[in-house]
Structure 1
Amino acid sequence: MANTYQVTCHKPDNSDPDRRIQGLGGDGWYGPIDTLIAGIESNQYRLWTTDRARNSVWVVVAKRSNGRKYLKTENDGVEPNNLLALPHCP
């Protein structure tokens, strides 16, 4: 069974033209983006956060047209982007 972690911060990658984040973190943990993607895909863990309305939303793996994977929340269709709206990780 996958371990579940709440995401409360992100680390942006300002040099990346498609704004792919470097990693996500929470209370006492931080993970680089590729490690998190692999963990979600292997069902090692599940990540969730809250949207602006304070609803719980799952973090999922998505793929751009160029094949590059990234993380987003299930309901990222409404701006602002839920993950990018989180505070920066220390």
Structure 2
Amino acid sequence: MAGRFQIKCINKPNRDSSVEHITHVGDAGIPWKLPVEVVIARIESSGPDHEDFYVRVGTIEANVIVVSPAGHRKHIRTTRDSTVRDNLLSLPECQ
């Protein structure tokens, strides 16, 4: 299922922790919620399962990308935009 999906909520094991990674993302309005590993696989897929994800802050959209820092596991973040806050971490909790 190819497409482009807006992420509107996140889950972390401890919301206030600055070192724990996001475990799930979703959209409470539709609703859908996916583990980050599934989102990574869909972004990295070159076939019919390829999907794009983004976060909207006001009128600005920031694409979600996969990063793989040396020595760390893959995770997601947004591309740089004109906002100063973290686009994903500023989202509310998914239910």
The number of residue pairs the alignment matches comes to 89
TM-score for both structures, normalised by structure 1? 0.82
Native 8 Å contact 1:76 1:82 kept in 2 = no
State which structure, 1 or 2, has the greater radius of gyration over its C-alpha atoms: 2
Structure 1 vs Structure 2 CA RMSD: 2.4
Number of the residue aligned with 1:59? 64
Q: Which secondary structure state, in structure 2, belongs to the residue aligned with residue 83 of structure 1?
A: coil
Q: State the distance in 2 between where 1:67 and 1:42 align.
A: 21
List alignment gaps of at least 5 residues for structure 2: none
Matching of residues 9-88 of structure 1 within 5 Å: 9-14=9-14, 18-26=19-27, 27-43=30-46, 44-51=50-57, 53-75=58-80, 79-88=84-93
Q: State the distance in 2 between where 1:81 and 1:55 align.
A: 13
TM-score for both structures, normalised by structure 2? 0.78
Q: State the distance in 2 between where 1:19 and 1:3 align.
A: 28
Identity %: 29
